[in-house]
A = this chain, B = another copy of it.
Amino acid sequence: MKIVKGFQANSNSNYQLNVIDLMKHAIRNYSRQEIASRNLDGTLFRYTYSDAYERMQRLANSLESIGIKVGDRIGVIAWNTYQHFEIYFGLPGMGAVMVSLNLRLAPQDLAHVINHSGIKYLIIDEDLIQVVESVIPLCKGLLGYIIITHKPLNEVETILKPIYSYEDLLMEALPNYEWLNLDENSAYAACYTTGTTGKPKGVYYSHRNVYLQAIMFATHFSMSVNDIIFQLVPMFHVLGWSKPQAATYVGAKLIFSGKWNLNDLEELTNIFVQEKVTASAAVPAVFMAMLEFIRKMEQKPDLTGARLICGGSEPPIALMRGFWDETGAEIIHSYGSTEAMAITTLNIFKPWLETELSEEELWNLKKKQGIIVSGLEIKIVDKNGKELPHDGKSSGEILLKGPWITENYFNAPQTVDSFTERGYFKTGDAGCLDSEGYLKITDRIKDVIKSGGEWISSIDMENSLMSHSNILEAAVVGIFHPKWDERPLALVVLREENKLTSKEEIRKHLAKSFAKWQIPDAIIFVDKIPRTSVGKLDKKRIRIEYGGQYTKN
């Protein structure tokens, strides 16, 4: 859309929005605010914004000292820790680009991200060294590895070299750093999305994007210095769903969850209660497990006023009511994507709806994805790109545009179809908007499976299956799973001469291209795969016939 020049304002057009400013101003006002971080042994490390800021400056000096320059891409593969938080500011503050690496990617995909982004150095949590070692043979251009560890460097076992100790580097560096005045369109970080078919695609967020998104989120989520924010969402996930930066903007207390999985939820729930957390975010599966644990507690914790953002998939009403009834905490449904920097909607009520709607209607309203945050433009379009009315019924593809919505994937000309000519991102999700502005996702257009908040491409998996010489035909669909919302299910037609091929062999074959968690639990041998009249895989019918696979006893 053409940009029209008006009367030039004299006020100030050169001031650059740099993410490090969020931290500088937090230090001026909230230097004593606490930051906690869960250690591997379950204890909490505690320090202050002021302590963190000194280490961010040391980090910036360290990175320069080993030769990292403005514009260099640096990969980060780490758990939710205070060091990861330091990297969030110290690394982009000195002008480098933080490439957030999803530690759950399959090796080929991880290597692709490293090579495609041109990463020079990797910063790695010690216990993720093996993940990196397994992809190194596929990577090029890596100059060195910074290990986050408290061990002496010579006790770190690895084939990686050269290696540096994050802590040693910081200790040797100067505690003051003169932050650069970066052009605000310089990249702050990159996240690669694996949402659809093909290789992971890069979204490079500028300092301006991240700055604007942080203050938008702080406002919409009513964040303040009184908040205590539990960072559960992995920080490699679209910048941790925006909370670390927004929390810094308002000087809120932050608690980092450390390394965790669903088995740690009892411990995490205890932290939640003891630290009087007021805000957090996670996928439904996590909050489900947390609620289960809370239900078993003799004395139910009072979490009145806590806001829990729930995204990745639709939170069941039972989950939302459960939290409300047991603890007083409110689950807030949210919707987003890597391309939209995580927070696109938040389900927030308006005073008039609270008056007009019955309790039941309000609970149903809470299931919707919520209202599109201010700052973003949305269109719901039909197959021909025609805009549909906001009537709560007309469903079409959701297109998004805004100050922090990507307009293209980095260096991926083949993906031009993911964006419209007018700069809208095609989300691949179908939905409808009602007259009050609440979005409801009705379908997924792109054929992907969302398992525990993570994407699996069914088409890629079908292609992989069919590349096996014993397989004649294959179809992969996402079906309901009580814990992961969706899990892949594979239907396989073996060639007549290979009827003895085992499921184990097929799993091994898939493991060459997919991470372990992506591989279908259920692989079913069939004689024929349902197809539509025009010969396409009839996934609708497959889901009807086999949809109960993960709910059967």
On A, residues with C-beta under 8 Å from B are 1-17, 21-22, 24-26, 28-33, 70-73, 95-97, 180-183, 185-188, 202-209, 215-216, 218-219, 222-226, 249-251, 348, 350-352, 371-378, 390, 401-411, 423, 435-437
Residues B251 and A181 in contact, CB atoms below 8 Å apart = no
Cβ–Cβ < 8 Å partners of A7 in chain B: 70-73, 97, 186-187, 204
Q: How far apart are the CA atoms of A435 and B147 in the complex, in Å?
A: 35
Residues A206 and B13 in contact, CB atoms below 8 Å apart = yes
Q: How far apart are the CA atoms of A375 and B19 in the complex, in Å?
A: 10
Instruction: Indicate whether A6 sits within 8 Å of B372 (C-beta atoms), given known contacts A17-B403, A351-B226.
Output: no
Which among B12, B26, B205 is the interface contact of A11 at CB below 8 angstroms?
A: B205
Q: Kindly list the 8 A-B residue pairs having the minimum CB-CB distance in the complex, ordered from nearest.
A: A6-B186, A9-B206, A29-B437, A9-B187, A25-B374, A7-B71, A13-B185, A11-B406
Instruction: Indicate whether A219 sits within 8 Å of B249 (C-beta atoms), given known contacts A4-B181, A183-B5.
Output: yes
CB of A68, distance to nearest CB on chain B (Å): 12
Nearest to A70 among chain B residues (CB) is: B6
CB of A428, distance to nearest CB on chain B (Å): 18
Residues B15 and A350 in contact, CB atoms below 8 Å apart = no
CB of A73, distance to nearest CB on chain B (Å): 7
Residues B406 and A10 in contact, CB atoms below 8 Å apart = yes
Cβ–Cβ < 8 Å partners of A72 in chain B: 7
Nearest to A228 among chain B residues (CB) is: B351
Cβ–Cβ < 8 Å partners of A409 in chain B: 10
Residues A372 and B219 in contact, CB atoms below 8 Å apart = no
Which among B187, B215, B377 is the interface contact of A215 at CB below 8 angstroms?
A: B215
Q: How many copies does the complex hold?
A: 2
CB of A50, distance to nearest CB on chain B (Å): 10
CB of A257, distance to nearest CB on chain B (Å): 22
Cβ–Cβ < 8 Å partners of A204 in chain B: 7-11
Residues B251 and A4 in contact, CB atoms below 8 Å apart = no
Nearest to A376 among chain B residues (CB) is: B25
18 new A-B contacts at CB < 8 Å, known A12-B405, A24-B377, A218-B219: A3-B14, A3-B182, A4-B186, A5-B183, A6-B97, A6-B183, A8-B187, A9-B204, A9-B207, A10-B204, A11-B404, A13-B185, A13-B208, A15-B401, A15-B423, A33-B350, A219-B250, A222-B224
Could you list some 8 contacts between A and B, CB below 8 A? Answer: A3-B14, A4-B70, A6-B207, A10-B409, A21-B374, A29-B371, A29-B374, A215-B375
Cβ–Cβ < 8 Å partners of A21 in chain B: 374-375, 377
Most buried by B among A8, A9, A205, A222: A9
Residues A12 and B97 in contact, CB atoms below 8 Å apart = no
Residues A25 and B375 in contact, CB atoms below 8 Å apart = yes
Cβ–Cβ < 8 Å partners of A5 in chain B: 70-71, 182-183, 186
Residues A374 and B249 in contact, CB atoms below 8 Å apart = yes
Instruction: Indicate whether A206 sits within 8 Å of B95 (C-beta atoms), given known contacts A4-B181, A29-B372, A219-B249.
Output: no
Q: How far apart are the CA atoms of A205 and B10 in the complex, in Å?
A: 7
CB of A9, distance to nearest CB on chain B (Å): 4
Q: How far apart are the CA atoms of A273 and B29 in the complex, in Å?
A: 34
Residues A182 and B6 in contact, CB atoms below 8 Å apart = yes
Residues B403 and A188 in contact, CB atoms below 8 Å apart = no
Cβ–Cβ < 8 Å partners of A17 in chain B: 403
Nearest to A15 among chain B residues (CB) is: B403
